[in-house]
Structure 1
Amino acid sequence: MTPNWIDLDGLVNLRDVGGISTDDGDKIKTGRLLRSDNLQSLTEDDIAALLRYGLTDVIDLRSTHEVDSEGPGPLTGRDDVRIHHHSMFRESDPEVSSDQPHEKVEAAPAEALPWIDLEPSVQVSDASASFYLSYLVDRPDSVLASLRDIAEAPGAALVHCAAGKDRTGTVVALALSVAGANRAQIIADYAASTEKVPEIVDRLRRSKTYAANLEGRPLSSHHTRPETMEHVLAFLDRQHGGVLPYLTSIGWTDADTERLRAKLLND
């Protein structure tokens, strides 16, 4: 299916996953789950458009140091949007998961991007998949909380990280899997971010948080290749019997599944 891109001035990788088919013939409803790059550059018109779209909850997967370095976003502190912060990386600082701005944490520059020099906890033949699977091993608390926040959002939930493709792609793939989405379409949704890589990288290069890390890296190194998500899902099949058994092993319940499916599928 064609990605359901949403054009806003302050985002380059925003889309609604509505329209993805399930294996039993249903479709993910539009206006339930959005995914994007980081929200720091939202304009007032962008915010108004998102509120008209029904946005009520933001799930921010960036590290504490990224959030601190970038500073409060345009949606921080609003009464009409709840912000849930769930880092996908191992961190030495206490985790922040709050609707309120957290106190500033002083971080050394090298700590601001926790994936620099980080050895993945899981090693598979695809390097990106190794990092994605490490999110699941290192931060099962954030995985569960993110999926539950999507399920419990009264309106549209928006999941984002920095680029909106790696951490975001992993969590969204899990959510779609719980809803019974067709695997080929889950993989295609993940891979769609490649189309936006030039704009994503250009935007991140203008940020002091990410610029140095991007120096010298070819655009192709940022691509979301279908085989990467295939590796992730195949690993979960081999090790756990699938996404749902993996989630069950970290505390996910049948009631959680019912709520998330209702959120994404029910009228």
Structure 2
Amino acid sequence: MNRLLSIKHIYLCLSIVFISLFSTLSFTTIASAAEPTDACGTPTNIIKLNCGDGKGMGNNAIWGILLAVIMILTAGIGIVAIGGLIYGAILYTTAQDNSGQITKSKTTIANVVIGLVLYAFMWSLLQFLVPGGVFSNSGGSSVTFTTGTATPETRTANTNSPSSNGGSSSPASTNNPSAVTKVKFKNFRDASASSNGVLKPGVLFRSAKLLYAAAKDINALSQVLGPNGLIIDLRTAEQVRKAPDKVVPGVKRVHKPVQAFSDTGVAVTNPSIRKAFLGSFRAMANNPGPVLIHCMAGKDRTGWVTAMIMGISGASRDQIRAEYALSTKAYPDHDPNWINSGLTQIDKKYNGSYRKYLKKGVGLSDAEIDKLIAKFKA
């Protein structure tokens, strides 16, 4: 058979492409490493994501293109590998006593295997370098980025605040209390509204995803949270990709993914889900201003985090259940008793202590738990 392009030539071409791609990533890594780290671009793995331009567009677009190239190359290599194995198998099975053909078939199959091993090695390096991983980030790692024009306050929020130094200080509540009533998107509320004085007003907000929020609601939310505010997104990477939040100008946003669950009991009994909550609680403790936390609907994962904050702040079970039940206004089919399973597991495994759950189950230190109490407890 006349071959216009041998298997070896194909692997040579792919090697050149990978070397070029890896060089581009390495150059970007070196360039980003030389930049100062601030709240406008927190390092994730090795490469740093930078601020957007106020319209939600930033260096993430570059990584999107690179990831698309990686996925296309992966598909191409899969096709070439399958073709090479089939070709080698055909050569071998039809060789009979032709020693030259047998050698060629073995060489072809060996080249395919070597190519796959090299690609697996390259993929592992890319998985380490690319923010959040090559394809998804549904585990415990997080990507931190801003959703709007950076301000001096947001750039220094985590480095100059008393909380970041391990001190405990009372955070500033919303800069514009009147703006809270103007925020009308789904399931948004101040978690203190139903706590009967357990939580400080204007410090902890919760909602559904921001994809469908109107422009006037986004502007009002920007006023509510202010330059020291923080948005914590609990959704998985795939959920964020399918329904990206709208930009809230001047407010920092962090992604702390937690896998969705159908029973709150797993938030206590499942080690990986417990640990996934660590990043969100830690971000809340270290941020000096108001916090908005949300997931897809803003009722389950968000409701669990809110319940734990209320618990360590001294709320009764009835108060926790009442706050959780408020989501039925946005979702009439929502079961207000859904949270009971998790609370029962805390009773069984941690003697009813929210502090023990956060320390032994989630992984927070005593100092971090004290920060949360100082920040949110009225």
Alignment of 1:143-222 (within 5 A): 143-198=277-332, 220=333
Give a deviation string over 1:193-247, Cα, whole Å, max 9, x none.
012115xxxxxxxxxxxxxxxxxxxxx3xx1323x22221111111122221121
Q: Does 1:60 align with 2:194?
A: no
Instruction: Compute the TM-score of the two structures, normalised by the length of structure 2.
Output: 0.47
Query: In terms of Rg, which structure is larger?
Result: 2
CA drift of 1:133 comes to 4.2
Change in Cα spacing, 1:253 to 1:8, as seen in structure 2 (3 Å) is same
CA drift of 1:73 comes to 2.6
**Which residue of 202, 205, 208 corresponds with 1:37?**
208
Q: In the alignment, what sits opposite 2:359?
A: 248
Q: In the alignment, what sits opposite 2:263?
A: 128
Paired AA for residue 211 in structure 2: Q
**Which residue of 246, 249, 253 corresponds with 1:83?**
253
Distance in 2, matches of 1:71 and 1:19, equals 28
Distance in 2, matches of 1:36 and 1:61, equals 11
Q: In the alignment, what sits opposite 2:243?
A: 70
Paired AA for residue 67 in structure 1: V
Q: Does 1:264 align with 2:376?
A: yes
Aligned residues of 1:7 and 1:14 also touching (Cα < 8 A): no
CA drift of 1:48 comes to 2.1
Q: Secondary structure at 1:87's aligned position in 2?
A: coil
State the superposition RMSD in angstroms: 2.4
Q: Does 1:140 align with 2:274?
A: yes
Aligned residues of 1:21 and 1:182 also touching (Cα < 8 A): no
Distance in 2, matches of 1:152 and 1:51, equals 20
Q: Secondary structure at 1:128's aligned position in 2?
A: coil
Distance in 2, matches of 1:36 and 1:170, equals 13
Q: In the alignment, what sits opposite 2:191?
A: 17
Aligned residues of 1:240 and 1:246 also touching (Cα < 8 A): yes
Q: In the alignment, what sits opposite 1:8?
A: 183
Aligned residues of 1:233 and 1:243 also touching (Cα < 8 A): no
Aligned residues of 1:40 and 1:74 also touching (Cα < 8 A): no
- Answer 1 or 2: higher relative contact order, Cα 8 Å, separation at least 6: 1
CA drift of 1:71 comes to 3.4
Change in Cα spacing, 1:71 to 1:50, as seen in structure 2 (3 Å) is closer
Paired AA for residue 240 in structure 1: Y
Q: In the alignment, what sits opposite 2:85?
A: none
Aligned residues of 2:266 and 2:342 also touching (Cα < 8 A): no
CA drift of 1:132 comes to 4.5
- Once the two structures are overlaid, the 10-residue window that deviates more, 46-55 or 62-71, is 46-55
Distance in 1, matches of 2:193 and 2:326, equals 14
CA drift of 1:35 comes to 0.5
| Long gaps (5+) in structure 1 | 90-114, 121-126, 199-219
Number of corresponding residues: 195
Q: Does 1:231 align with 2:365?
A: no
Give a deviation string over 1:144-198, Cα, whole Å, max 9, x none.
2111222222221001011110111111111111222222111111111012115
CA drift of 1:142 comes to 2.8
Distance in 2, matches of 1:166 and 1:224, equals 10
Distance in 1, matches of 2:329 and 2:244, equals 28
Change in Cα spacing, 1:65 to 1:45, as seen in structure 2 (3 Å) is same
Q: In the alignment, what sits opposite 1:50?
A: 221
Q: Which structure dedicates a bigger proportion of its chain to helix?
A: 2
Change in Cα spacing, 1:71 to 1:14, as seen in structure 2 (3 Å) is closer
Paired AA for residue 313 in structure 2: A
Give a deviation string over 1:25-81, Cα, whole Å, max 9, x none.
x53111100000001123332122112223410110111001111235323xx5x21
Paired AA for residue 137 in structure 1: P
Distance in 2, matches of 1:60 and 1:49, equals 19
Instruction: Compute the TM-score of the two structures, normalised by the length of structure 1.
Output: 0.65
Aligned residues of 2:191 and 2:199 also touching (Cα < 8 A): yes
